[in-house]
Amino acid sequence: MDKIWLKNYPDGAPTTINPNQYSSLVEMFEKAVRRHPDIPAYINMGKVLTYRKLEERSRAFAAYLQNELCLEKGERIALMMPNLLQYPIALFGALRAGLVVVNVNPLYTPRELEHQLNDSGAKAIVVVSNFAATLEKVVFNTEVKHVILTRMGDQLSFGKRTLVNFVVKYVKKLVPKYKLPHAASFREALSIGKLRQYVKPELLPDDLAFLQYTGGTTGVAKGAMLTHRSIVANIIQAKWVADPLILNGEGKIGVIALPMYHVFALTVNCLLFIELGLTGLLISNPRDIPGFIKELKKYRVSVITGVNTLFNALLNNEHFKEVNFSRMKMTVGGGAAVQRSVAERWHAATGNHIIEGYGMTECSPLIAATRSDSTEYSGSIGIPVPNTDIRIVDDAGNDVPLGERGELWVKGPQVMQGYWQREEDTADVMKDGWMATGDIVEMGQDLNLRIVDRKKDMIIVSGFNVYPNEIEEVISSHPKVNEVVVVGIPNEKSGECIKVFATKKDETLTREELRKYCKQHLTGYKIPREIEFREELPKSNVGKILRRVLRDEEMERIKKQLNAK
């Protein structure tokens, strides 16, 4: 497809970026530190970590990894922690030692953790004590030789550290008993590393920086091989979106509520913020909405990123209106579609229009975004970021005409090398240099991309294609609905039928009322056959509603019903 969407780029905006601006993430980091050494890089639980201190502590950690653990360039190290100051120290320390970072969701079950550690071949892991009991169950079944243990408050001042660690363990009882007798202390590792010599390895653009595992919402989690060049390129592509609003980050605070082990927050928050010179306000537990809002009240924030469910939860808290948003410059939504009702309420409350970003783990992750000067909700994901080529193809791999729906294929410097040790899975998605996203999209006459749905989430009702996002958009606009997700379930007459799972904002809402509302806005075959209200919906670590979990539950229920007959 010719790059017709370039017509939609803001006036004066560059149409290309230099993906080789930095030879590695380490070079990017070192130059950022030299530009602004004494401004805060991160704030967490009131503790400030400057860029200079981040450089010193990450250097010490890198020296520890090199000298004490004797880890060599290219070996893998797992990081298993929420948004704490320890995370960026360990992250940049590992990268500076030439290691490949394997981000691990702290909420993994032992089975999931064992799979990821074995699949990646990680030789070391940094883990917060809250999740050490999970690691204990599987560590001896893996190649992990070195466990580095930290506690929630370990990077805070002495008094605060003692208090936080006591409360977490003995008051809130968030640290299950564990036994890892050979584990080293993260604080001790930094103390030892300070006394050791750090030797900067030679890093090439095509060296691996991350094995970033897919979220598992579309099947078995696989490690996307992301190089220093692919991540650097995507940071510069994301900067293209942010630059008109955040020309200079010094003195500006960006909220990091999504966990940095997730690729969206990793690139758009953790790494882009470093390049911009922003101060990252780390929210360790974004599900604690009252606590989150207290943090927002303390600081005049300039940037916030999130997912639809997070924005919705904040808006639904009565104290959110007390936050001062006079310095807010930018809000970015990703991970899942931002719904119109949420976007409009967010603008009314903060004065910010939500910039929607679209991406996937395999693309580091950013592929497209709405313009930074957007003034209203469009329901689109905007335009491909610079240096990104796209195709929209039919099932045979042929380009479809403008305005027609097809699967999105992507090519650009941000695309992964492939899946770690999975040649067949790589071949399934990599087509002559193109990455097949599995997402059904259309590009209208306005030259903006719109996600119709995941290819495999499409529901076929009596031969008609039904896209869950469309139905969710309608139902979410009902004033009594809080959250909603739609799945397809088997049906003898129509092949599949539509089932809705929803949580209520108003307890008076009935199934009949909601079905009547759907009839007003949807054609007959799109009307849900079943509606189930729940107290809450299952979500991923970044708050994305897990459609697959609900679909699997329904399939199991139907299977049991058939067996009973």
Q: Which domain holds residue 539?
A: 460-564
Residue 191 above 60 pLDDT?
yes
Give the pLDDT band (50/70/90) at residue 215.
low
Residue 55 above 70 pLDDT?
yes
Q: Is the peptide bond before 365 cis (omega within 30 degrees of 0)?
A: yes
For helices 186-194 and 51-67, the axis angle rounded to 10 degrees is 90
Q: Which H or E run includes 452?
A: strand 449-454
| Contact of 93 with 67, CB cutoff 8 Å | no
Residue 454 lies in a domain: no
Q: Are strands 223-227 and 389-393 parallel, antiparallel or unpaired?
A: unpaired
CA–CA dist 480, 339 (Å, integer): 15
- 194 and 284 in a single domain? The answer is yes
- 370 and 473 in a single domain? The answer is no
Q: What is the mean pLDDT of residues 284-291?
A: 95
For the ranges 26-40, 241-255, 343-357, 408-422, the lowest mean pLDDT is seen at: 241-255
Q: What is the mean pLDDT of residues 122-151?
A: 98
Which pLDDT score, from 0 to 100, does residue 217 have?
Answer: 40
- 353 and 497 in a single domain? The answer is no
Q: What's the structural domain count of the chain?
A: 2
Q: What is the mean pLDDT of residues 348-373?
A: 94
Residue 134 above 50 pLDDT?
yes
CA–CA dist 32, 257 (Å, integer): 22
Average pLDDT of the chain, as a whole number: 93
**In this structure, what CATH number is given to the domain that contains residue 503?**
3.30.300.30
Instruction: Return the structure tokens found at 216.
Output: 């598992």
- 364 and 469 in a single domain? The answer is no
Q: Please state, in angstroms and as integers, the Cα–Cα distance from residue 86 to each residue in 81, 117, 196, following that order.
A: 8, 20, 20
Read out DSSP for 378-447? Answer: -SS-BEEPTT-EEEEE-TTSPBPPTT--EEEEEESTTS-S-BTT-HHHHHHHEETTEEEEEEEEEE-TT-
Residue 172 lies in a domain: yes
Which pLDDT score, from 0 to 100, does residue 132 have?
Answer: 98
Which pLDDT score, from 0 to 100, does residue 524 have?
Answer: 87
Residue 379 lies in a domain: no
Residue 198 lies in a domain: yes
Which tens digits make up the pLDDT trace of 396-440?
999 999 999 999 999 999 999 999 999 999 999 999 999 999 999
Please state, for a pLDDT cut of 70, what percent of the chain lies above it: 99
Provide the 8-state DSSP code for 335: S
Which tens digits make up the pLDDT trace of 303-324?
999 988 899 999 999 999 999 9
Instruction: Return the structure tokens found at 35.
Output: 């530009």
Residue 218 above 60 pLDDT?
no
Give the angle 123-206-35 at the CA atoms, nearest 5°.
Answer: 90
Instruction: Return the structure tokens found at 265.
Output: 């927050």
- 416 and 469 in a single domain? The answer is no
Residue 30 lies in a domain: yes
Q: Find, among 336, 330, 379, 337, the residue nearest to 355 by Cα.
A: 330
CA–CA dist 476, 473 (Å, integer): 5
Q: Identity (one letter) of the amino acid at 1?
A: M
Residue 447 lies in a domain: no
| Bridge partners of residue 23, in order along the sequence | none
Burial of residue 179 (number of CB atoms within 10 Å: 0-12, 13-18, 19+): exposed
Q: Which H or E run includes 211?
A: strand 208-213
Which tens digits make up the pLDDT trace of 493-518?
788 899 999 999 999 999 999 999 99
**In this structure, what CATH number is given to the domain that contains residue 423?**
3.40.50.12780
Give the pLDDT band (50/70/90) at residue 459.
confident
Residue 24 lies in a domain: yes
CA–CA dist 492, 167 (Å, integer): 55
- 464 and 428 in a single domain? The answer is no
Map tokens 């306005």 to a residue: 446
- 44 and 169 in a single domain? The answer is yes
For helices 51-67 and 86-96, the axis angle rounded to 10 degrees is 50
Give the pLDDT band (50/70/90) at residue 64.
very high
Instruction: Return the structure tokens found at 136.
Output: 């204990």
Q: For the chain, give the number of residues.
A: 565
CA–CA dist 265, 255 (Å, integer): 10
- 261 and 397 in a single domain? The answer is yes
Instruction: Return the structure tokens found at 384.
Output: 């491909």
Q: Please state, in angstroms and as integers, the Cα–Cα distance from residue 309 to each residue in 338, 504, 545, 550, following that order.
A: 9, 14, 8, 17
| Contact of 339 with 472, CB cutoff 8 Å | yes
For the ranges 255-259, 302-306, 375-379, 421-425, the lowest mean pLDDT is seen at: 375-379
Q: Find, among 434, 431, 452, the residue nearest to 379 by Cα.
A: 452
Give the pLDDT band (50/70/90) at residue 478.
very high
For the ranges 40-54, 212-226, 426-440, 512-526, the lowest mean pLDDT is seen at: 212-226
CA 333 to chain centre: 10
- 268 and 410 in a single domain? The answer is yes
Instruction: Return the structure tokens found at 318.
Output: 């009565």
* The CA-based dihedral angle spanning residues 486, 490, 495, 501, taken in that order and rounded to the nearest 10 degrees: -20
Which tens digits make up the pLDDT trace of 551-562?
989 988 888 888
Which tens digits make up the pLDDT trace of 100-110?
999 998 988 88
- 201 and 309 in a single domain? The answer is yes
Residue 277 lies in a domain: yes
- 470 and 426 in a single domain? The answer is no
Give the angle 100-359-106 at the CA atoms, nearest 5°.
Answer: 50
Which pLDDT score, from 0 to 100, does residue 216 have?
Answer: 45
Burial of residue 39 (number of CB atoms within 10 Å: 0-12, 13-18, 19+): middle
- 479 and 333 in a single domain? The answer is no
